Structures are given as structure tokens and as C-alpha cells.
Structure 1
Amino acid sequence: MRNFELEIINFIDQGYNAKRYYLFGDKKELRLTTNIRDDLNLVYEDCVELMEEYFERWAVDPNGFEILDYFNPEYLGSKERDPHIPLTIEMLIESAKAGRWLYGSKQF
């Protein structure tokens, strides 16, 4: 049986959990409740990359997932609303187990 929790935490830790001072320092401790955007300080483009790779690697059907529900592109003069809907590691794990995205925007 696959250990989705370990696989997904390792995926995020290795690719998206930067060291505190770029090349040195501690990484943040990842928990099920870790908010991918806010706790890891990811920019929009990194979030898009993370989610695209996640959906492909774990064969999760992305139907119902809308990136703008969780992240907004931040650019000079942007007037996009900040959704501030948390996207947690636990959400990725549970959706991977189900094989489809479980958290449509209508649930918020």
C-alpha cells in the first residue's frame, strides 16, 4: 500500500521547502496543516508548478480545482483579490488517496 503522506511530504520538502537563508539554515517543519502558500512563502508560479506536478505524479483528477481559489498572481499593480483559502498538505494527501480533487471552491 502506498504511503501518500510520506511521498507528498517528501515531494514538497525536496522541491518547495527552501532553507531559511537560501543555502543554509533550517527548513520549516512540514505538517499536515502546513499551508502551502503562506507557510512555505511560495510565489504564484511555484504554486502552479507544484500543483501541476502533483496532479500528474499522483494521477489525481484535477476537475474542480481552480488555482485562483488558493493563490493569486502577484504582479506590480495587481488588483486581483487575495483568496486566502488555505491549501494544506493534508488536502493533497486526501485527494491523492481518492484519485480526484476533493475540495471544490463551492465547499468554501
Structure 2
Amino acid sequence: MNLDKEICDYLTDKYGFRKSWRDPEIVPIQKFWSVQDDWQLLPEDLAEILIDVFTKYGVDYSKFDMLNYYEAERAFWQRKPPKRDLKPLTVEMIIEAVKAKRWLYD
């Protein structure tokens, strides 16, 4: 089995989701998916998933910065930071990091 498929299968098995609560079938996670748009992960869920995957495959993720991909959460009374462009994050980027054994994009 190739590594791309292995990682997508692992993510589907462990973190997959259903289209609706009535649908018994898990949606297979695809390499080309955007984590923010197609998978629609919250930052805390993504952090848990990345730690799991990167630990399982021995990836150095010390250079990964969640703030490049998600806005920082703030309490309602705190001032909002200036708007900035967020980078896209894809399943393919995670796969490429696993292959390289380090985070490649920050």
C-alpha cells in the first residue's frame, strides 16, 4: 500500500465523519481536501489529529504554527487583531510532511 492511501485510510478510520447523523457510511478523507473547508476541522480537533499522525509517523512538527491556518481565539472583551490572510492547509501537506519526517510549510 502506498503511503498516501495509508494516511488517508488512517485518518478516515480514526477521524472520519458521516454526511448526516442518519447516514451510516463514513466519508473517506481525500488527499486533495482542504482541512478548513472540506474537512471543516476546528483548531483544537486539528491539533489533536496532527499530534496523533505526526507522533505515529515520527514527524518533527516543531516548526508547525497553527496561527498560519486559523485565527487565534479571543475572549469577547479582547480587541480583535488586524485581519490577516490565512494559509490553506490540505491533507496532502500532512502527507508530504510524513514523507519528509518534518513540517515543510511554515
TM over 0.5: yes
Identity, % of aligned pairs?
Answer: 30
Return the letter of the residue paired with 1:103. Y
Counterpart Cα distance in 1 of 2:36 and 2:84: 12
CA 1:63–1:33 in 2, change beyond 3 Å: closer, same or farther?
same
1:32 and 2:31 are equivalent in the alignment: yes
Partner of 2:20: 21
CA 1:99–1:17 in 2, change beyond 3 Å: closer, same or farther?
same
Counterpart Cα distance in 1 of 2:92 and 2:18: 22
Partner of 2:95: 93
Q: What is the TM-score with the length of structure 1 in the denominator?
A: 0.76
Counterpart Cα distance in 2 of 1:27 and 1:84: 29
Q: List alignment gaps of at least 5 residues for structure 2.
A: none
CA 1:21–1:6 in 2, change beyond 3 Å: closer, same or farther?
same
Return the letter of the residue paired with 1:3. N
Q: Is contact 2:60-2:101 (8 Å) kept?
A: yes
Partner of 1:9: 8
Q: Is contact 1:34-1:88 (8 Å) kept?
A: yes
How many aligned positions are there?
A: 103
Partner of 1:84: 86
